[in-house]
Amino acid sequence: MTKSVDILVVGGGIIGLMSAFYAARSGARVTLAEQHFPGTQEGSSAEHVRMWRTMYNEIEFSEMAFQSGSLYTEIESQAGVKLLHYHGLLNFGSETDYTPEGTLLDPIQTLNSMNKTYKLLDKKEIEKQYPFKNLPDHYVGIFQPDNAVIDVKTTINTAINLCKSHGVNFLSRKKLLKIDNNFSGVKSTFEDGDVIHSRKIILAMGPYTNEVLKPSFDIELNLLFWDMCFSYYRLDGSIENYPMWFQFDKPHNGYSSLFYGFPEVEFARPGFCRIAVDWASHTFSDIAQRYYAPPRIDIEIVRNFVKDHIIGLDSAPVDVGRAVMAHFPDNGCLLDFLPKNFPHYQNVVVCAAGWAFKFAPLFGKICADLALEKNEFKHNISTLSIDRPQRILSKPRLIDIAKFMH
Ligand code: BEZ
């Protein structure tokens, strides 16, 4: 089969779905191809909960979170659904080197510059107000109310419905192998032999991005994958006030001490809290090396933390799950065209990496605007640029390599 569309979106996770929705809402003929099914569990959009988190070291990320929050709210009112469940976020612990979540205290500066309210707590106040015990005396906490648990399944289903109501054509079990890009647009060739011609393509393939960039352009993003594991812990009924939280501390016995937890929410596992370490023992740079089954150590260190420091929970992990996560060395996200040295680079929009579910409506809208050449929005995507150092791994054929070297 050969067909032709305005915009082809590849990837049926939340970023691809939001991109397809915004592009179709602007009137484009959009097809979304996904190697599994829209709302796939094989990528970074798996499972029930994500954080809409606004405390960042970098003000650009906090600003993007708030912009994205406004779009979430807009979708909520348009679709008559609730996607963000506000519980606030408690970051507590001690200062550390830069972690995948930034640092404990630097976001204070960001919050001050954005005129956002927050509350500072000492160890005694943390233990009095929240269900933690035996914390070191030097621990401090910051509570910020503008943070929410994202209902992942409802967000995905809403995005699928919005796509459908705006005429997006879904192709499931459709694996993209290669794209050819020239002055007339993009030719995409799929594993089943089908070919789709489009004016523009949006690659929202998360951890699978290199599988297409490499054969198509001989470039590879410098991605490191984590199979992030988490478990649900049963509430014993003695405590009601479980916050959404992150604990910062230095690594212990070689293992990360960056733990996080979600409150009980009825759309995940009623009667349980999801708790995990923001780390993975198994990291890999080829998605084919994924284990799927959670490694025991990733679950064990969390179980010990729960036993030693959290009250109101059974310390037996139940319902262990995982989601694959793609990291850049700078922990950032990527949303850009192909590198500028490629001819017709603006035909290809790439969005990959980072903890981006919270940014999904914003990133989807930006991907769509870039593909639709809607420059009037003047999105500032410099923090997300593909040209930043260390973003590209292998020597690109058509790119000035010196630009990517330190
Ligand atoms: C985040 O929102 O950035 C995040 C939440 C939980 C675990 C890791 C990252």
- What is the DSSP secondary-structure string of 83-95? -EEE--EEEEE--
- What share of the chain in percent tops pLDDT 90? 76
For residue 224, pLDDT over 70 is answered with: yes
Instruction: Give the mean pLDDT of 245-274.
Output: 94
The preferred substitution site among 226, 274, 278 for testing ligand 1, maximizing ligand atoms within 8 Å of CB, is: 278
Q: How confident is the model at residue 41 (pLDDT cuts 50, 70, 90)?
A: confident
pLDDT above 90 for 134: yes
Mean pLDDT value of segment 31-57: 93
Model confidence at 266: pLDDT above 80: yes
| pLDDT greater than 60 at residue 268 | yes
Average pLDDT over residues 5-31: 97
What residue owns the CA closest to ligand 1's atom 9? 355
**In the predicted model, what is the mean pLDDT of the chain?**
91
Write out the H or E segment, with its range, that includes residue 307: helix 296-309
Query: pLDDT tier at 363 (50, 70, 90 boundaries)?
Result: very high
* CB of 42 sitting under 6 A from ligand 1: no
Whether residue 146 is predicted with pLDDT greater than 70 in this model: the reply is yes
Give per-residue pLDDT as tens, 53-92: 999 999 999 999 999 999 999 999 999 999 999 999 999 9
Residue nearest to atom 5 of ligand 1 (CA): 51
Residue 321's pLDDT is 87
Using the predicted structure, report yes or no on whether residue 402 has a pLDDT greater than 80.
no
Backbone phi and psi for residue 234, each to the nearest 5 degrees, phi listed first: -75, 130
Q: Which residue is closest in CA terms to ligand 1's atom 3?
A: 355
How far lies 104's CA from each of 57, 90, 203, in Å? 9, 10, 34
By residue count, the chain amounts to 406
- Do the Cβ atoms of 245 and 144 come closer than 8 Å? no
Which whole-number Å values give the CA distances from 353 to 59, 149, 160, 224, 384, in the listed order?
Answer: 19, 20, 21, 9, 10
Amino acid symbol at 78: Q
Ligand 1 and 118: CB distance under 6 A: no
> Max CA-CA distance within the chain?
66
Q: In this model, does residue 375 exceed pLDDT 80?
A: no
Ligand 1 pocket test target in 51, 58, 103 with most atoms within 8 Å of CB? 51
| Six-digit token string for 278 | 């923001």
Could you tell me which residues come within 8 angstroms of residue 139 by beta carbon, excluding any fewer than 6 positions away? 92, 93, 94, 122, 123, 126
Tokens of 23: 């592009």
Q: Residue 338 has what pLDDT?
A: 95
Structure tokens at 224: 């490191």
Report pLDDT for 393: 62
- Residue 212 near residue 20 (C-beta atoms within 8 A): no
- What is the per-residue pLDDT for 376? 62
Q: Ligand 1 centroid to 181 CA: how many Å?
A: 35
Model confidence at 395, pLDDT cuts 50, 70, 90, reads very low
In this prediction, residue 1 carries a pLDDT of 76
Decide: 20 and 32 in contact? Cβ < 8 Å. Answer: yes
| Contact of 49 with 26, CB cutoff 8 Å | no
144 in Cβ contact with 118 (< 8 Å): yes
Residue 304 has pLDDT above 60, yes or no: yes
**Mean pLDDT (whole number) for 187-213:** 97
The model's pTM is 0.93
Report CA Rg, the chain.
21
Instruction: Ligand 1, residue 53: give the atom nearest the CA.
Output: 2
At 249, is the secondary structure helix, strand, or coil?
coil
Q: Identity (one letter) of the amino acid at 118?
A: Y
Helix orientation angle between 14-25 and 360-371, rounded to the nearest 10 degrees:
50
Ligand 1 within 6 A of CB of 359: no
Per-residue pLDDT band for 272 (boundaries 50, 70, 90) equals very high
**Which residue(s) pair with 112 in the sheet?**
none
Q: Quick one: how far is CA 140 from the chain centroid? A: 27
AA identity, residue 204: A
- Is the C-beta atom of 53 inside 6 A of ligand 1? yes
Reading the block at residue 177, the tokens are 């192998």
For residues 182 and 244, give the distance between their C-alpha atoms in angstroms, rounded to a whole number.
47
> CA-CA distance, 399 to 91, in Å (whole number)?
42
Q: How far is the CA of 64 from the centre of ligand 1 (A)?
A: 15
**Residue 20 identity:** A
226 in contact with ligand 1, CB cutoff 6 A: no
Least confident piece of the model among 154-168, 209-223, 265-279, 370-384 = 370-384
| The pLDDT value given to residue 400 | 36
How far from the centroid of its chain's Cα atoms is residue 122's Cα? 31
Q: Indicate left, alpha or beta for 350 from its phi (over 0: left) and psi (-120 to 50: alpha).
A: beta
